[in-house]
Structures are given as structure tokens and as C-alpha cells.
Structure 1
Amino acid sequence: MSSSPADAILSARGLTKEFLGFRAVSDVDLDVREGTIHALIGPNGAGKTTVFNLLTKFLTPSSGTIFFRGDDITGVKPADVARLGLVRSFQISAVFPHLTVLDNVRVALQRKAGLDTQFWRSNRVLDRLDDEANRLIDAVGLSAFAGHDAAELPYGRKRALEIATTLALDPPVLLFDEPMAGMGVEDIGRISDLIRRIAKGRTVLMVEHNLSVVADLCDRVTVLARGEILAEGDYDTVSSDKRVREAYMGSEDE
């Protein structure tokens, strides 16, 4: 088994996943370097989300090893992986719709403050989280919506709120599963700018279909096809690869 580069914060070696005899991911080696924005891309059915779920432990690999900061986390549970600092988002926004923006972020902050299981705490005790909550809300551009219920927010603003609740855990690694899914052009620009800002001092791994976003944001791109790594490098390198163009558009003979 090859070793991970010294600057890789998250790595996989020989990562494989089979479902009832179907090999969805096959022998993937991946290194996500600390302080970078790294994208997993590929045509539909390429295995991107399966790899993402394996790395975050929502799926158990059939074989292979996953490392975080050099430690083997292959057998670690998803909640424990999150506590280590690997925190993910989902394609569907996951916020509490009938809580305000402020209260959503306060809920997320309770774990870091040691209050996550102390539901009997008074509002007075929880009010001490307001300064940090408002700082995070401002960071994602939602200060004007702090008193609004999450259900009232447009879709793109809900995604921004989800990012704020993710940031409340202060993770060194953020994993975004199609953060631009279902967004209009204005929201895509807003969330792209937000990811760029919050990535400073952090590592980001994202699955994303929007190649314009990938070209604009990402330092490194891994292209998957049929569960295997097809190409890897910066966006200009992978986008000029004939195999990548054929995977997305089909060969010229078809």
C-alpha cells in the first residue's frame, strides 16, 4: 500500500465498494491536500457520491483504507468522524425549518460549547452563544434574515444557513455534496463566493456537476468514470484530457 503525501489531510487507498456483486467503486486512491479546494467530478453513475459516502463513513467500504491526518479511520463511525473534524453537507438542505436562522446556528454551536445534551438550559444560558452565532450568520450573508424562520428562506439562502451551521462545528475539513444543486445563477455566484471565503484556512472536498463552478473554485480535480479514477490534476489539465471529454460527451465514433 502506497503512503499518503505529507500534506494530505484526507486520503484513501484501494477504496472499493460492491453492492450485490456490482462494483460501484474500484480501487480508488485519493489524496486531498490540506488547505485546498478539491472536486470530485464525473458523468452520472461515475461513483462520485459513493466515494463521498465512503470517505464520510455513511457507507462501509468492501475493501481499502481511509486516512485522516495519517490515522486509519476506516472503522470509525460517521458521528465520530464528524467529531474528528470531517463535517459534510448533503444535496438536500438540512436545517430546522421552524426555527429562526439565529436559533439554527445556536443549536449547532451547542456542541462546541458543551451544551448539546443539556436541553433544560434556559435561554439566558444559551444567549451567550449569540455573539458567535451572529458572527457566523454575518459570514454567510444572512444578517438581514437572522430573525426569520428557516422555512421562509429562498433555497440558496437555506444552503448558506446550512453552511453556517456546518461552520459552527469549526471543522478543518468541509465536504459538500453538490452544493449548487437546484440553484439559479444568482445563488450559484453567492454560494461560490461563500465557499471561497470560508475555505481560507480550511480544506474543502466537493462533489459538483457544475463545471464552471469547479473551474472557478477548485485547486485540484479528480475525475471518476465507472467507479475508477480517470484523470486528476488542475481543471485545465483534466478538461483537456481526451478520455475525460469522451466520458462526458461520448467518443467521436458514437
Structure 2
Amino acid sequence: MAINAVQTHEEPRVVLSARGLTKVFGAFAAVKDVDLDVHHARVHALIGPNGAGKTTVFNLLTKFLQPSAGTINLLGTDITNTAPDKVARMGLVRSFQISAVFPHLTVLDNVRVALQRPNNLATQFWLPMSSLDRLNQRAEELLAAVGLADARNTVAADLSYGRKRVLEIATTLALDPKVLLLDEPMAGMGQEDIGTVSSIIRNVAKERAVLMVEHNLSVVADICHHVTVLQRGEILAEGDYATVSQDPRVRTAYMGTEEA
């Protein structure tokens, strides 16, 4: 198990936090008393075996699920009982495991669609198509930032799987998130795409917090500043990758018992 943990110095501010986060479905507690702090300009990984509760935590933080107990705070505001659309407008934006791009639109138009809401164009359907031209510069900037400038006129359906996921990151960045949640961004990717997306996430985190669920431990070791390990809905360990990867409980529960 290779260890290449990201080193940190001064601790940045907390932008998203949870205290006592709990979700019960009938008699089953999917998440139990989870405390979480996500910091600005840092990549925070949420890892654990299948069924550990990672996606449930994501759904609770983004308000797709309402917690049975506990509190959630975003940028100094309690959002425990806030609707998911309002939470997104406050700056908490997530991606999903399944690519969510519009396959029959060009790459540029996918980003222009995403830019409509923050530019107050999403509901002004009576305006001519030319009204979207003012979004072109920002759309081009986002495509350049994720390495898709050369594919601006390509129909999204014709992109490779990895580049579709990169386009999805561009569309989430169009919403100008303060906290970006990525659900298994490397799933199904080849090694070349993994390297590209890792670099993009590292750059994205220079200006915002990133919380990601990820099973690729090499990626976690390479780009994540902090790691929280879940098991059966509870926090098993947390710290930098070098620390958690050597924890005997983590090695037994998730990473195996082989020598690093």
C-alpha cells in the first residue's frame, strides 16, 4: 500500500461541519453519531467498505435525506432543516456516481446550461437564445480549466467516459460552489483519466473545499489532506492518509492486513 500523503501546515477554516449526524431507517442505523469537519482549500476523503454509510452521509449533508438526529452547518449557517435546492444555492454542490451531462448537447452548451442558474437565466424562458451568448466567456474559461477547450464543439455523447466525468466537474464548477462533494469521481476510469481528474481536483481545491467518496486508495493518498474512515455507519478512524492507513483497525476492516 503506497503512502504519499499530502502534507498540511496551517489549518484552514471549517466550511462544512456535522455533529452527531445520525440516520435511522426503521430499526437500522445507517449512520450513527458522525462528527465531520471539512476545511476550505482542502480535499477530504470519506472512505470505507461497501455499506459503511458513505453515500448516506453525502445524502444527509446535501439534504437529499433528513437526519434522524444531529446538526449540519454550512459557512456558519445551520442547514439541518434547509431544503436541498436552497443548500445548493448557498454553495454546497455535489456530483453523482452516474454521469449527469446532456448527451445530445455540445460540451460548450452543457456548461452554458449549468451557468444559466447562477446568472439568473434558468427561468427566463422568453428570452432569445442569443441571450446565452454572454455566458460564453465563462464557459470557455471553465472548459480550459478542466482541459476540455479542444472539445468545446464535441457532442457530449461522443466523449470518452473519463472526459464525460471531467465535463460533469466543469458543470458543477459553473455553479461556483464553496464546497464541492464528489461521489466516486474515479469510478470506471482508466489510469490516464485518473491522473487527469486527480490534477483537476487538486486545482479545484485551491479555491474551495472538496469532500469526496473514493475507493481508489492511491488517489486518496495522492491528493487528500484528510481522511475519514467509516465502518457500519460510524467513524472508525480519521487523520491524514499516512496515519489512517497504518491503523490496525482500518487495515483489518477495509484495507486488508498486507504490509504497506
Where relative contact order (Cα < 8 A, 6+ residues apart) is larger, the structure is 2
Q: Distance in 2 between matches of 1:9 and 1:89?
A: 18
Q: Deviations over 1:115-149 (max 9, x none)?
A: 11112222221111111111111111111111111
1:157 aligns with 2:192: no
Which residue number corresponds to residue 231 of structure 1? 237
- Name the structure 1 match of 2:187: 181
Pair 139,251 (structure 1): closer, same or farther in 2 beyond 3 Å: closer
Q: What is the distance in 2 between the residues matched to 1:176 and 1:113?
A: 23
Q: Deviations over 1:132-189 (max 9, x none)?
A: 1111111111111111111111111001111111111111111000000111111111
After TM superposition, the score normalised by the length of structure 1 is 0.94
State the alpha-carbon separation in 1 of the partners of residues 100 and 165 from structure 2.
8
Are 2:140 and 1:134 equivalent residues in the alignment? yes
Match of 2:130 among 107, 124, 127: 124
Partner of 1:43: 49
In structure 1, the residue matched to 2:34 is: 28
**CA displacement at 1:7 relative to structure 2:** 2.1
Partner of 2:219: 213
- What amino acid is the match of 1:205? L
CA gap 1:132/1:249 in 2 versus in 1, 3 angstroms: closer
1:199 aligned partner: 205
Deviations 1:70-112 (A, max 9, x none): 2110101111100000000000010111111111111111112
Paired residue secondary structure (1:17): strand
Kept after mapping to 1: 8 A contact 2:12/2:40: no
Identity between Structure 1 and Structure 2 (%)? 71
CA distance in 2, matches of 1:173, 1:28: 19
Task: Identify the residue that residue 52 of structure 1 maps to in structure 2.
Answer: 58
Letter of the 1:236 partner, please give it.
A
State how far apart, in whole Å, the 2-side matches of 1:51 and 1:95 are.
24
Which runs of 5 or more structure 1 residues have no equivalent in the other structure? none
- Change in Cα spacing, 1:87 to 1:249, as seen in structure 2 (3 Å) is closer
Deviation at 1:250, TM superposition (A): 5.8
1:18 aligned residue (16, 24, 28): 24
* Cα distance in 2 for residues equivalent to 1:71 and 1:249: 36
- Secondary structure, aligned partner of 1:112: coil
Q: Match of 2:17, as an amino acid?
A: S
Q: Structure 2: which amino acid aligns with 1:25?
A: V
The alignment's TM-score, normalised by the length of structure 2, stands at 0.92
Q: Deviations over 1:52-85 (max 9, x none)?
A: 1111111111111111122110101111100000
**Quick one: distance in 1 between partners of 2:257 and 2:170?**
42
Runs of 4+ more than 4 Å apart? 249-252
How much has 1:197 moved relative to structure 2? 1.1
For the residues of structure 2 that align with 1:110 and 1:14, how far apart are their CA atoms?
Answer: 36
Preserved CA contact (<8 Å) 2:102 2:110: yes
- Residue in 2 aligned with 1:99? 105
- In structure 1, what residue type is equivalent to 2:207? G
3-state DSSP class of the match of 1:87?
strand
TM-fit CA distance, 1:15: 0.5
Displacement of 1:251 after TM fit?
Answer: 7.1
1:62 alignment counterpart: 68
5+ residue gaps in structure 2?
1-10
Q: Which residue of 2 aligns with 1:145?
A: 151
Q: CA deviation at 1:198?
A: 1.4
* Counterpart residue number, 1:110: 116
* Partner of residue 4, structure 2: none
